[in-house]
Amino acid sequence: MIERLKITSREEWLGWRKRDVTASQIGALFNCHPYVTPLRLYAEQRGTEFVVEDNNAMRRGRWLEPAIAKAVEEVRPEWKLEQAAHYLRDSDLRIGATPDFYIHGDPRGLGILQAKSVAPSVYAREWNNGGEVPLWIILQASTEAMLASADFIVVAALLVDAHQMDVSIHEMSRSSAAEDKIKKAVETFWQNVQLGIEPDPDFVRDADTVRAMWRAERDKDAEVDLSGNNRIPLLLEQRAILKEQNKVNDALLEAIDAEIKFEMKDAAVGVGVPGWRITYKTSFVKSYTVAERTQRVLRVSDLRGK
């Protein structure tokens, strides 16, 4: 049975979504999502709170969604589009979705439309100039079609170019094999959440997730013994080299710090690594152009020369 929950407010809709793996997150279970990692999805369902701030990409998506529907109806006048007004939920699988639009008037039956606005450079790089649809979007649309019991799927990409606006329409059939894989991935995910089986971090992409998972130390003197961790000395050495370089590789340095923080978790002091002092304690940051706040600060001191 699929629940159909009438959306009356954005806040209520967001609350429903927190209970489930949603169609827009499914790609994370297959490690192909550009924004959501397996660890972030796991952390959310284990209770980690993430502050999601509105940004240009999110605003662009909201503003242009009606324009995409208008463009599709002009290109395919036989279709009548209806904006989805319900949150669809499989309460047994704990999977949910809200399609962007339903498609009526096609002899195949009911369709769902997934609307995307895409910069030309992204369209060239990730969509192969229209030759393929990114896998995470296919998984999203497939999940929506499955929950909506739709007969076919359409992904529409609006190329956001001030001088050459265009819409690219990609039609596809439902795949029972793909849907079975989605169901199995979601089932395995919830089993792992219940058992506390954590996905391996991607430290290049999971720096924010690691910070959010352990926002504060247990107490100011809590220690973690890192003496049996053979990677930590290598990371500290690499970190010291990067710090000494005139042009620091910020992305690599952030990944190294994320891995050290992951090993520290909620400890304030790391011990057992000869020649190094490691702390990860909460500090107070005074206000300047942003509000004052507290945050944990990783500090590493090289004591090998002393």
Q: Are 186 and 177 in contact (CB under 8 A)?
A: no
In the chain, the number of structural domains is 2
Whether residue 187 is found in the same domain as residue 218: no
pLDDT for 90 = 97
d(CA 258, CA 264): 10
pLDDT for 289 = 62
**Mean confidence (pLDDT) of the chain:** 92
Read off the pLDDT of each residue in 194-208 and give the average, rounded to a whole number: 96
Calculate what percentage of the chain has a pLDDT beyond 70. 96
Q: CA–CA distance from 28 to each of 21, 34, 65, 238 (Å)?
A: 10, 8, 23, 30
Residue-number span of the structural domain to which 47 is assigned: 2-195
Whether residue 162 is found in the same domain as residue 213: no
Whether residue 148 is found in the same domain as residue 224: no
pLDDT for 246 = 64
Residue pLDDT, tens place only, 253-302: 999 999 999 999 999 999 999 999 999 998 876 766 657 778 889 999 88
Q: Are 29 and 189 in contact (CB under 8 A)?
A: yes
Whether residue 37 is found in the same domain as residue 178: yes
pLDDT at 52 over 80: no
Q: Could you say which of 165, 195, 225 is where a domain stops?
A: 195
d(CA 128, CA 121): 10
Q: Is residue 298 within a helix (H) or strand (E), and if so which, with residue range?
A: strand 293-302
Taking phi first (over 0 means left), then psi (-120 to 50 degrees means alpha), and beta for anything else, what does residue 92 get?
Answer: alpha
CA 44 distance to own-chain centroid: 10
Calculate what percentage of the chain has a pLDDT beyond 90. 79
Asked whether residue 201 is domain-assigned, the answer is no
Q: Could you say which of 195, 226, 254 is where a domain stops?
A: 195
And the tokens for 227? Answer: 């003496």
Asked whether residue 123 is domain-assigned, the answer is yes
Q: Are 156 and 167 in contact (CB under 8 A)?
A: yes
Q: Could you say which of 195, 219, 241 is where a domain stops?
A: 195
